[in-house]
Amino acid sequence: MSTETGQVHPISLYLKIWGLLFILSACSYAVDYFDFQGYLRWFLIITFMWLKAGLIVSIFMHMAWERMALVYAILLPPMFLMVLVGMMAIEGGYTTLTRILFFGPGSAPIVH
Amino acid sequence: MAQEELSPDGTAVALRDGWDGVVADWSADKQAFSVPWGKAMMWIFLLSDTFIFSCFLTGYMTVRISTTEPWPIPSEVFALNLFGQDIPLILIAIMTFILISSSGTMAMAVNFGYARERKKVAILMVITALFGASFVGMQVFEWSKLIEEGVRPWSNPMGAAQFGSSFFMITGFHGLHVSVGVIYLLTVAFKVNRGDYEERGYEIVEITGLYWHFVDLVWVFIFALFYLW
C-alpha cells in the first residue's frame, strides 16, 4: 500500500473515518448536552477524545502504514508528557490544600 | 508489509520489519526514515508543537486544580441563544464539525495528488482552506463575545481569573495555527494548480495535510479538556 514516494489509500476509507469522527464528535457533544456529570462524564470525554485522536493520527496522518522507526520516534516522546501531567496534578492539589489552609474560611490569621 | 530499498550496487534489498527493523534503520549508515525528507521534518516539527500545546494544556490543568475560586462552567459560558433558547456549547460543536470536515477534504486532496489530478487537488485544498477560514471567523466571534462580557486574561465576572488567561492563550495559539495553515494551504494549492509539482511529485500535498490534520488533532484535545471538562 505504501510506496517510496507516498501513501495512497482508497477514498472510501477516508470517508468512513470522516463519518466515524462525526459520530464521535456528536457523542462527545451529547455528553455535554445531556449534562452527564462526575466520573461518567470524565470517562466518556476522555474515551471519545482518544478515539478521535487515534483515528486522525493513524488513518488521516497515515501512521498506521509508516515504518516502526518513524512511528516510535514520533509517538514515544509525547508519552513522557504523562509524567509532567502527573506531577503537575499532584502539585496543583498541594497548592489548593495550602491555599485553603492559609486563606480559606477559619484559617488562622498570619502573625508576624 | 515488507518494503524494499536499493543497495549501493543497485540491487533491491528487502527491509526488515518490527523491532529488527527499528534497530536496522537506526544503526545502519543511511537515512533512518524511509520517507521523503520533507515529511520527516514536518513530523519532527509537529512533535515539537505537540510539546508546546501539551505545556499549555498542562498549565491550564494546574491552575484549574489549584484555584480555590469556582471555575466558570464552559457549557454556560459558551452557550448561544438560538431560536429563543440557550443551546449549550453549540458554536464550539459547529467549529468542531467544520474542522473535521476540513480534515476529510484534505485527506481526499492527498489522494488526488498521488493520482496526479491536480485540478481536483487544488479545488479540495481551497475548500479545506475555506473551512479553516470560517473556523477562524467563528473564533473571532467567540472572542469578541467573551471580551464584551468582560472576560480578560486577568479577570472575568464568572469566577476564577485563570479561566481568561487559559482561554485566550490556548485558543489563541490554536487559532494562530489555523490561520497559518490557511495561508500554507492556499500557497500550496496555488502552486499545485500552476503545475509546479508535476515533475517533483505530490509529497508536498501529503506534508501539508500532516500539518492540517495536526491542527484538527490539537482541537480534539482542546475541545475535550477545555470546553467539555
The residues near B49 (Cβ < 8 Å, ≥ 6 apart) are B177, B214, B218
Query: Is A104 inside any structural domain?
Result: yes
Query: Is A112 inside any structural domain?
Result: yes
Nearest to A61 by CA among B171, B4, B218, B18: B218
Q: What is the pLDDT of residues A32-65, one digit of tens each?
A: 888 888 899 999 999 999 999 999 999 999 999 9
State whether A25 and A2 are in the same domain.
yes
Of residues B130 and A107, more confidence is placed in B130
Do A100 and B106 make contact, defined as CB atoms within 8 angstroms?
A: no
State whether A19 and A56 are in the same domain.
yes
State whether A43 and A93 are in the same domain.
no
Query: Is A74 inside any structural domain?
Result: no
- Quick one: closest CA in A to B39, which residue? A6
State whether A57 and A86 are in the same domain.
no
- Nine-digit cell string for B209: 495535510
Ordered by where they begin, the domains of chain B are 35-228 (1.20.120.80)
pLDDT at B87: 82
Of residues A16 and A1, more confidence is placed in A16
Determine the average pLDDT of the residues in B170-191: 97
Flag whether pLDDT at B26 surpasses 70: yes
Query: Is A46 inside any structural domain?
Result: yes
Query: Is A72 inside any structural domain?
Result: no
Do A96 and B67 make contact, defined as CB atoms within 8 angstroms?
A: yes
How many beta-carbon contacts under 8 Å exist across A and B?
A: 176
State whether A46 and A7 are in the same domain.
yes
Do A7 and B63 make contact, defined as CB atoms within 8 angstroms?
A: no
Across all residues in chain B, what is the average pLDDT? Answer: 91
pLDDT at B28: 76
Q: Beta B4-6 vs B12-14: how paired, if at all? A: antiparallel
pLDDT at B44: 95
Query: Is A9 inside any structural domain?
Result: yes
Query: Is A33 inside any structural domain?
Result: yes
Flag whether pLDDT at B139 surpasses 80: yes
pTM of the model: 0.88
State whether A56 and A26 are in the same domain.
yes
State whether A6 and A49 are in the same domain.
yes
pLDDT at B13: 79
Determine the average pLDDT of the residues in B79-88: 80
- Percent pLDDT > 90 in chain A is 71
With a threshold of 0.90, tell me whether the complex ipTM lies above it: no
- Nine-digit cell string for B104: 476529510
Query: Is A51 inside any structural domain?
Result: yes
Q: Which of residues 191-210 of B touch A (CB under 8 A)?
A: 201-203, 206, 209-210
State whether A52 and A1 are in the same domain.
yes
Q: Which of residues 59-118 of B touch A (CB under 8 A)?
A: 59, 61-68, 75, 88-89, 93, 96-97, 100-101, 103-104, 106-108, 110-111, 113-115
Q: Count CB atoms within 10 A of the CB of residue A101.
A: 11
State whether A54 and A6 are in the same domain.
yes
Provide the domain count of chain A.
Answer: 2
Among B23-32, B64-73, B128-137, the range with the most confident prediction by mean pLDDT is B128-137
Residue range of the domain that includes A90: 80-112
- Quick one: closest CA in B to A91, which residue? B62
Flag whether pLDDT at A2 surpasses 50: no
